[in-house]
Structure 1
Amino acid sequence: MGSRLEPGEFEHLRPSRFLSFTFPNPLPDPPNPYGDPLRIAVLDSPSPSSSHPQIAALLVPLGREDDWIFSTAPGHLQLLLSLDLPLSRLVLAGNTPSSSPATLTSYSSPLPESESDPDSDALQSSLLPLLLALCPKASFVDGIPQIPFLSFDDDVVRIVPVETLVGPVVGEMLVEDVAIDRSPSPPELRRRLRFKRMPNLVQTQVRLLPQSSSSSISTLEFGSLRPEVGSLVQPYLAPMVAGLSLIATAVEERVRLGLRPKALCVGVGGGALLMSLRTQFGFDVLGVEADDVVLGVARRHFGLIEDEFLRVCVGDGIEMINNSSDFDAIMVDLDAGDATNGVSAPPLEFVQMNVILAVKSAVHEQGVVVVNVIPSDGSFYGRMVATFREVFCELYELDVGNGENLVLMATASPVGTDTIESGGSIPVKLNEVVGKGLISCIKKIF
Structure 2
Amino acid sequence: MAVCSELERLQHVEPSRFVSFSFPNPLLHDASNPYGDDAGFLRVAVLDSPLHPAPPSPRTAAMLVPAGRHRDWIFSTRAGHLHLLLSSQSQCQLSRLILIGPELSVPSPRVVSCAARPDPDPAHGRLLPLLLALCPRAAFGDNAIPDVPLLSFQDDLLRLTPVRIVTGPVVGEMLVEDVVIDCTPHPIELRRRLRFKRMPFLVQTQVRLVRQSSPGNSSLLEALDDVPGSSLQPEVGVELVQPYLQAMAAGLAVIAPSLDESVRSGAKPRCLCAGIGGGALLMSIRMGLHFDVLGVEADDVVLDVARNHFGLVEDEFLQVRVGDAIQMIRELALRGEPDMNFSAIMVDLDSSDAICGISAPPLEMTQESILLAARTILHRNGTFILNVIPPAADGSLYKGMIYVLRQVFSELYEIDVGNGENVVLVATVSPVETILADSSGSIQMELRKLAGDFLEHIRRI
Residue 98 in structure 1 maps to residue 105 in structure 2: yes
Aligned to 2:132: 132
For each residue in 1:264-304, what CA deviation from the matched residue of structure 2 results, as whole angstroms up to 9, or x when unmatched?
A: 00000010100111111111000000100000000010010
* 8 Å CA contact retained: 1:77, 1:339: no
* 8 Å CA contact retained: 1:77, 1:340: no
Cα deviation for residue 82 of structure 1 reads 2.1
- Letter of the 1:298 partner, please give it: A
Unaligned runs of 5+ in 2: 225-229, 333-339
Cα deviation for residue 39 of structure 1 reads 1.1
Provide the C-alpha distance between the structure 2 equivalents of 1:313 and 1:99, rounded to a whole number of angstroms. 41
Cα deviation for residue 359 of structure 1 reads 2.0
Cα deviation for residue 87 of structure 1 reads 1.9
Cα deviation for residue 254 of structure 1 reads 1.6
Q: Residue 235 of structure 2: which of 225, 228, 232 is its match? A: 228
Residue 204 in structure 1 maps to residue 205 in structure 2: yes
Provide the C-alpha distance between the structure 2 equivalents of 1:98 and 1:275, rounded to a whole number of angstroms. 39
Structure 2 counterpart SS, 1:264: strand
Q: Is the deviation greater in 139-148 or in 35-44?
A: 139-148
Provide the C-alpha distance between the structure 2 equivalents of 1:307 and 1:66, rounded to a whole number of angstroms. 39
Provide the C-alpha distance between the structure 2 equivalents of 1:411 and 1:187, rounded to a whole number of angstroms. 38
Provide the C-alpha distance between the structure 2 equivalents of 1:104 and 1:412, rounded to a whole number of angstroms. 52
Aligned to 1:311: 319
Cα deviation for residue 380 of structure 1 reads 2.4
Aligned to 1:395: 412
- Letter of the 1:155 partner, please give it: D
Cα deviation for residue 247 of structure 1 reads 0.5
Residue 421 in structure 1 maps to residue 438 in structure 2: yes
Aligned to 2:151: 150
Q: Residue 321 of structure 1: which of 311, 329, 338 is its match? A: 329
For each residue in 1:17-63, what CA deviation from the matched residue of structure 2 results, as whole angstroms up to 9, or x when unmatched?
A: 11111112223224333332211000112224323422111111111
Cα deviation for residue 178 of structure 1 reads 0.2
Unaligned runs of 5+ in 1: none
Q: Is the deviation greater in 386-395 or in 355-364?
A: 355-364
Counterparts in 2 of 1:61-76, with a 5 A limit? 61-76=66-81
Aligned to 1:288: 296
Q: Residue 386 of structure 2: which of 363, 371, 374 is its match? A: 371
Structure 2 counterpart SS, 1:41: strand
Provide the C-alpha distance between the structure 2 equivalents of 1:183 and 1:98, rounded to a whole number of angstroms. 35
**Cα distance change of structure 1 residues 321 and 218 upon mapping to structure 2, 3 Å threshold:** farther
- Letter of the 1:93 partner, please give it: I
Provide the C-alpha distance between the structure 2 equivalents of 1:184 and 1:348, rounded to a whole number of angstroms. 39
Cα deviation for residue 238 of structure 1 reads 1.1
Cα deviation for residue 431 of structure 1 reads 2.9
- Letter of the 1:87 partner, please give it: L
Provide the C-alpha distance between the structure 2 equivalents of 1:97 and 1:49, rounded to a whole number of angstroms. 31
Provide the C-alpha distance between the structure 1 equivalents of 2:433 and 2:346, rounded to a whole number of angstroms. 19
* TM-score normalised by structure 1 residue count: 0.91
Aligned to 2:346: 331
**Cα distance change of structure 1 residues 423 and 188 upon mapping to structure 2, 3 Å threshold:** closer
* 8 Å CA contact retained: 1:245, 1:417: no
Aligned to 1:38: 42
**Cα distance change of structure 1 residues 225 and 364 upon mapping to structure 2, 3 Å threshold:** same
Q: Is the deviation greater in 330-339 or in 306-315?
A: 330-339
- Letter of the 2:19 partner, please give it: L
Cα deviation for residue 343 of structure 1 reads 4.4
Provide the C-alpha distance between the structure 1 equivalents of 2:303 and 2:145, rounded to a whole number of angstroms. 53
Cα deviation for residue 128 of structure 1 reads 2.0
For each residue in 1:189-230, what CA deviation from the matched residue of structure 2 results, as whole angstroms up to 9, or x when unmatched?
A: 000001111111111100011235x66575362531210112
- Letter of the 1:398 partner, please give it: I
**Cα distance change of structure 1 residues 199 and 342 upon mapping to structure 2, 3 Å threshold:** closer
Residue 269 in structure 1 maps to residue 277 in structure 2: yes
Structure 2 counterpart SS, 1:345: coil
Cα deviation for residue 132 of structure 1 reads 2.0
* 8 Å CA contact retained: 2:356, 2:391: no
Counterparts in 2 of 1:170-185, with a 5 A limit? 170-183=171-184
Structure 1 counterpart SS, 2:389: strand
Structure 2 counterpart SS, 1:175: strand
Q: Residue 55 of structure 2: which of 51, 54, 64 is its match? A: 51
Provide the C-alpha distance between the structure 2 equivalents of 1:417 and 1:272, rounded to a whole number of angstroms. 29
Q: Residue 108 of structure 1: which of 110, 113, 129 is its match? A: 113
Provide the C-alpha distance between the structure 1 equivalents of 2:459 and 2:362, rounded to a whole number of angstroms. 24
CA-based RMSD:
2.4
Aligned to 2:164: 163
**Cα distance change of structure 1 residues 20 and 440 upon mapping to structure 2, 3 Å threshold:** same
Structure 2 counterpart SS, 1:141: helix
Structure 2 counterpart SS, 1:385: helix
Provide the C-alpha distance between the structure 2 equivalents of 1:238 and 1:425, rounded to a whole number of angstroms. 18
**Cα distance change of structure 1 residues 126 and 417 upon mapping to structure 2, 3 Å threshold:** farther
Provide the C-alpha distance between the structure 1 equivalents of 2:125 and 2:346, rounded to a whole number of angstroms. 49
Cα deviation for residue 181 of structure 1 reads 1.5
Structure 1 counterpart SS, 2:243: coil
Cα deviation for residue 353 of structure 1 reads 2.3
Provide the C-alpha distance between the structure 1 equivalents of 2:26 and 2:442, rounded to a whole number of angstroms. 65
For each residue in 1:228-262, what CA deviation from the matched residue of structure 2 results, as whole angstroms up to 9, or x when unmatched?
A: 11251011111111111100111122222221100
Structure 1 counterpart SS, 2:208: strand
Aligned pair count? 436
Cα deviation for residue 129 of structure 1 reads 2.2
* 8 Å CA contact retained: 1:268, 1:287: yes
* 8 Å CA contact retained: 2:7, 2:133: no
